[in-house]
Amino acid sequence: MERLMQYVWQHRLWNPAGMSTVDGRAVRIIDPGLLNTGAGPDFFNAKVSIGGEMWVGNVEIHYRASDWRRHGHDNDPAYDSVILHVVDRDDMPVRRHDGQIIPQMRMPCAPEFSRHCSDLMGASAAGLPCASEIAAMPGVYLTDWVTTLGYERLYRKSDHLADLARRLKGDWEEIAYITLARAMGFGVNNDTFERLAMSLPLKFLRKHGDSPLSVEALLFGQAGLLDGAPEKDPYVDRLVNEYRFLSHKFGLRPLSPGAWKLGRMRPWNFPHRRVATLAEIVARCGRIMSSLLAIDSEEKASSFFNFGLSGYWGRHYRFGAPSPHIEKAVSASSARLLMINAVVPLLHAYATSRGDDCLRDRAVEMLQQLKPESNTIVTMFTAAGIPCRDAFTSQALIQLRREYCERRKCLYCRIGHRMLSARAYRPE
């Protein structure tokens, strides 16, 4: 309840008519202040007129006035700066630690507002409780929110790469290798692929870049995928022997094979195929970052990833499981996903580090030119009335679902805010 009261106070959703302290002094809110998410009063630097006298200071919000004493604020000098105590239940007066009474105002909750919040934020994570109201919202309102979310997701990815750049001292080749490896997980094995790349530096692979077998042995061995591979397979035997030598040379410890997810997965998405694809890219691509930055269209992405795997992986999806000839290592739709999840974030992060606005704008334009992703999240929102015509929008919808819906942050979502603002607090 306090969280809802803070929300109403922050967004000025109260009814200004008839606001007064419990002792009858008129209250007018000039500035609600800044929300404090740390220790101390809930809002800093508020400006409030109480009985015609201007007060500047902090505001504390509680459901019951007695929570002031229960939380120990009456003995805490940090709360001496509170100029107004806002409550739903006025069950006692409150004082500063020196005994001074603090002005107190009731801001009761309309029952339907609290109930609607509970229904919205307490619904099953599998559904979309606001779906019935999304279609009725003005298109310009939804467009503005989707644009904000698209940039929010892109900058979040870019900030992650900026942190990685600081850790790796600006080695963008290594960053590109790790980013591409992570994207090869295609959602299911992203984290495991990233751990694989982090545990096997690109410089080790480059030392043996002239030997495809060595590159494959390093990646498969470090991934832990050689454990349990079928015996008496000549190709597997060569990989095992090569990795045994190279892991000793570089002091490597493989990942656990149990880190990989294989359940309910189509054969071409098996991690074995994706590791083989990554090995092929490392072996054939001199400078990964330069090659990825040269991709500025879906056609170039398809061209870059348009190669087949020869030898063993041209006819296997995993060790010991022969299959018909596999024409392409990466399909056109997968190449598009790699562009969305690796190329564009790399381009944006690199441009940001260089202060290159033109390059940064190009990253956004690439997302706007790409077809949208096809997944359950996009389908859910399009069915609710949010059109999705490009990858920038599909990324925005993923951000909305992951960071707001699933975290039940409806109070911080513009859709949720618009729905709830009409049911806000009203004085009795």
Are 7 and 132 within one domain?
A: no
State the residue range of the domain holding 296.
Answer: 171-330
Residue 36 placed within a domain: yes
204 HSE (CA, 13 A, CB side)? 23
Contacts (Cβ under 8 Å, ≥6 apart) of 378: 372, 388, 394, 397, 398
Are 190 and 325 within one domain?
A: yes
Judge if pTM exceeds 0.75: yes
Are 283 and 159 within one domain?
A: no
What is the tally of structural domains in the chain? 3
Are 403 and 323 within one domain?
A: no
Are 284 and 315 within one domain?
A: yes
Domain stop point among 121, 136, 154: 121
DSSP string, 188-242: TSHHHHHHHHHHS-HHHHHHTTT-HHHHHHHHHHHTTTTTTPPTT-HHHHHHHHH
DSSP string, 270-288: SHHHHHHHHHHHHHH-S-H
Residue 353 placed within a domain: yes
Are 154 and 175 within one domain?
A: no
Residue 71 placed within a domain: yes
Are 239 and 371 within one domain?
A: no
The one-digit pLDDT tens for each residue of the chain (428 residues) are 788 888 888 888 777 777 899 999 999 999 999 999 888 999 999 999 999 999 999 999 999 999 999 999 999 999 999 999 999 899 999 998 888 999 999 987 666 677 777 777 765 556 788 888 888 888 888 999 999 999 999 999 999 999 999 999 999 999 999 999 999 999 999 999 999 999 999 999 999 988 999 999 999 999 999 998 888 889 999 999 999 999 999 999 999 989 999 887 888 789 999 999 999 999 888 789 988 888 888 888 888 888 888 889 988 888 988 888 777 888 888 999 999 999 999 999 999 999 999 999 999 999 999 999 999 999 999 999 999 999 999 999 999 999 998 888 887 888 888 877 766 554 44
Domain stop point among 87, 104, 121: 121
Residue 41 placed within a domain: yes
Are 131 and 191 within one domain?
A: no
| Strand boundaries in 240-379, DSSP class E | 316-318, 321-322
Neighbours of 361 (CB within 10 A): 12
Are 397 and 349 within one domain?
A: yes
Are 134 and 101 within one domain?
A: no
Are 116 and 58 within one domain?
A: yes
Are 319 and 226 within one domain?
A: yes
Nearest-10 Cα torsion for 169, 171, 172, 174: -120
Sign of the CA dihedral running 351, 355, 361, 364: positive
